[in-house]
Structure 1
Amino acid sequence: MTLFAVLFEDDQQNAAAIRKEYLPRHFAFLEANAASIRTAGPLSREGDAFAGGLWLVEVETAAAVDRLVKEDPFWAAGLRKSVKVFRWNQVFAEGALL
Structure 2
Amino acid sequence: MSLFAVQYFYAGDPDAMAEVRPTHVEFLRSLHESGALRVSGPADGGTSALLIFQAESKEELEKTLNEDPFWTAGFIGERPIREWNPFFGSIN
TM-score category (smaller protein): 0.7 to 0.9
Match of residue 18 from structure 1: 16
Runs of 4+ in structure 1 over 3 Å off: none
The answer to which structure has the higher helix fraction is 2
Q: Which residue of 2 aligns with 1:37?
A: 37
Count of aligned residue pairs for this structure pair:
88
Determine the C-alpha separation between the residues in 1 that align with 2:3 and 2:38.
Answer: 9
Q: Write 1 or 2 for the structure with the bigger share of strand.
A: 1
Structure 2: give runs of 5+ residues left out of the alignment: none
What RMSD, in angstroms, separates the aligned Cα atoms of the two structures?
1.4
The one-letter code sitting in structure 2 at the alignment partner of 1:79 is: F
Q: Which runs of 5+ in 1 are unaligned?
A: none
Correspondence list, 1:52-63, <5 A: 52-63=48-59
Deviations 1:57-92 (A, max 9, x none): 000000111012211111011110011011101111
TM-score between the two structures when normalised by the length of structure 2: 0.86
Q: Which has the larger radius of gyration?
A: 1
Q: TM-score, normalised by structure 1?
A: 0.81
